[in-house]
Structure 1
Amino acid sequence: MSEKKTLVLGASTNPERYAFKAVNRLVQHHHPVVAVGLKEGAIAGVEIEKPGTIHSDINTISLYVGPAHQAVYYDYILKTNPQRVIFNPGTENAELQQMLTEKGIGYEHACTLVLLSIGDY
């Protein structure tokens, strides 16, 4: 299995949040993780950082921010230039999808947790 460095956008220290569960599961599956969120804290030993630092080695951005709050992250996502963006359920956004397509960044509507659980990440 190849490691896919993943940036979880919308990371939260709330164990009830899917972004929290995704960071934990990615760590368990030995994928390097960058957790990005608005509040400080850590998940599974991964410090949550504020959006801003552009990571140039990201394979996947796993999106856990609803469409109504995504516009402030457009530049950040595009400058990060991942191989793909996973739109987890409830994050689908045609405007962002168009921007990704124009920049040659792949995307899929999927659930990071499901992809990991079936070995299809």
Structure 2
Amino acid sequence: MKKTLIIGASTNPSRYAYIAAHRLKGYGHPIVPLGLRAGEVAGEKILTEKVALDDIDTVTLYVGPRNQPEYYDYILSLKPKRVIFNPGTENDELENLLREEGIQPLEACTLVMLSIGQY
């Protein structure tokens, strides 16, 4: 199972980050939700601070490119195997930084990847 950090986590059921949190847990993947507002999603407390985390396999992004720079150093420090850029989050600058550190950037959709068994 792939421990996944969800950046842009939300308590709003209409948000894709919310749906992804529930689907990831449903497929047995441990999640760590990180968002702007405290709350709970899929039975997990939403972190509002960039805390040190261990064993993050995947980071899945639900924040647009304009809001991503504040997460660059944090994502790199976690040394995930891959970062998924969900539709609307694509960012060449961050993708290049990831490649330089040996981290795989993927322009994909977490929900589709789960549904077709490619997560």
User: TM tier, shorter chain?
Assistant: over 0.9
In structure 2, distance between residues paired with 1:54 and 1:9 = 14
The answer as to whether partners of 1:89 and 1:111 remain within 8 angstroms in 2 is yes
Distance 2:21 2:42 in 1: 7
* Aligned equivalents of 1:73, 1:85: Cα separation in 2: 12
Structure 2 partner of 1:29: 27
Q: State the AA in 1 paired with 2:45.
A: E
Point out where structure 1 has 5 or more consecutive residues left out of the alignment: none
Instruction: Report how far residue 44 of structure 1 moved.
Output: 1.4
The equivalent of 2:106 in structure 1 is: 108
TM-score, normalisation: structure 2: 0.97
Return the match for 1:69 from 59, 67, 70: 67
Structure 2: distance between partners of 1:120 and 1:68: 28
Structure 2: gaps of 5 or more residues: none
Specify the SS of the correspondent of 2:72.
helix
1:73 partner SS: helix
In 2, the alpha carbon distance for the partners of 1:96 and 1:82 equals: 14
User: Residues 56 and 81 of structure 1 are in contact (CA less than 8 Å); yes or no, is this contact kept in structure 2?
Assistant: no
Mapping 1:42-121, distance limit 5 Å: 42-121=40-119
Aligned: 1:13 with 2:28: no
- Shift of residue 51, structure 1, vs aligned partner: 3.3
CA distance, structure 1, for counterparts of residue 68 and residue 57 of structure 2: 19
Contact 1:11 1:35 in 2 (8 A): yes
Q: For residue 4 of structure 2, what is the amino acid of its counterpart?
A: T
TM-score (norm 1): 0.96
- Superposed structure 1 runs of 4+ greater than 2 Å apart: none
Equivalent pairs: percent with the same residue?
56
- Taking the aligned partners of 1:15 and 1:110, their CA distance within structure 2 comes to 21
